[in-house]
Amino acid sequence: MLRTEARVDLDAIRQNVATLRAGTSAAVMAVVKADGYGHGLVPSARAALAGGAAWLGVAFLEEALALRAAGIEAPILSWLATPGEELVTAVSQRVDLSASAPWAVAEIVAAARAAGRPARLHLKADTGLSRGGAAMSDWPDLVTAAAKAAAGGEVEIVGIWSHFAHADAPGHPTTDRQLAAYRDALAVAAGLGVTPQLRHLANSAATLTRPDAHFDLVRPGIAVYGLSPVPHESQFGLVPAMTLRSRVALAKRVPAGSGISYGHAYTTDRETGLALVPLGYADGVPRDATNRGPLLLGGRRRTISGRVCMDQFVVDVGDDAIAAGDEVVLFGPGTAGEPTAQDWAEVLGTISYEIVTRVGVRVPRTHTGLGT
């Protein structure tokens, strides 16, 4: 066993996508941005495609081009670029691009001319998240610019899309308002002569809870990796794919009254055993996990004792027989009694997305399943 590893079950990713696919008549775009939410970009993409995903979604161009370099030919949408980025390669390699403003359409058109082929374009409407996408007052201008480019053969308008703000809170009225706004955006586009091949709006939460928002394509992200976007409602049959584990580097006894780690944020109240674990905030263990991060060691749930350091943390193990080399599991699917990423999220007041994506580059990803 490695000193530390994030073990990723590709069969779990494949099955999660198959579960999502079975719940909709729409095609599935598996979102694999941020290195596959920390699980590994290319292996996660291949597992998702094996599970029935028809599309892949990424935030940045370099992610899309890395997938193409790995030989993946499935449709890919890249949706977040800034002015002046080099788009010619993306257009040449049939990476779909998103535009939220006329200037973005103009840059995509210029790239299409340089590439000598039409660009594949998705238009994003801001239906209430107030993040990316054209505001409704600007939407006609964006659609008009894209329609002109399509008429000139410089772009192919593949999709019209938006993104939910509150789909992870089932029943929140914002979701209905956004759905209505999205339909309005489609109607405005149709009035300007633009009918897209694909309409897509649903994220993981809406894929699982709002079939009326599925349209032609759904875009699950966190659910692909087995983590529920609505954790207090259901796990939806999803299986967490990542297990973060390490090994005890040192075990020793210390007397009562020993201050542990920087600042002595933890002090022993008796003679006790300590286990040193070679993981720290440089590896993605939040410093806020001091005195509260859960883990499994020696068959028991325990808690980090004292300050999380850059490379290591300490666990008070009492009188249990813990030795150097013993396995420590910070989170996994929970089937062996270990904490889950959701458990960590609840302890730290965050979301499971952050827990898995922040696992650092020093932690090797070990992939299992799919014939590995």
Q: What does 45-72 look like in DSSP terms, one character per residue?
A: HHHHHHTT--EEEESSHHHHHHHHHTT-
Q: How many CA atoms lie within 13 A of 43 on its CB side?
A: 22
Q: How many CA atoms lie within 13 A of 336 on its CB side?
A: 15
Please tell me which residue in 33, 124, 225, 266 is annotated as part of the active site. 33
Beta-bridge partners for 295: 302
The span from the CA of 214 to the CA of 191, in Å, is 22
Active site residue 262: yes
Active site residue 33: yes
Cβ atoms of 294 and 306 closer than 8 Å: no
Closest to 198 measured CA to CA, from 339, 98, 295: 98
DSSP state of 177: H
For 176, other C-beta atoms within 10 Å of its C-beta total: 14
Q: Which amino acid does the sequence have at 315?
A: V
Please tell me which residue in 37, 124, 182, 262 is annotated as part of the active site. 262
Beta-bridge partners for 258: none
Reduced to 3 states (helix: H, G, I; strand: E, B; else coil), residue 206 is helix
Dihedral of the alpha carbons of 73, 63, 33, 9, in degrees to the nearest 10: 60
Q: What does 318-352 look like in DSSP terms, one character per residue?
A: ETS---TT-EEEEESSSTTS---HHHHHHHHTS-H
Beta-bridge partners for 246: 4, 328
The span from the CA of 67 to the CA of 326, in Å, is 37
Cβ atoms of 101 and 133 closer than 8 Å: no
Closest to 275 measured CA to CA, from 308, 300, 305: 305
Cβ atoms of 80 and 44 closer than 8 Å: no
Residue with tokens 């292996």: 43
**Residue 328 has which token pair?**
């420590």
Catalytically active residues, by annotation: 33, 262
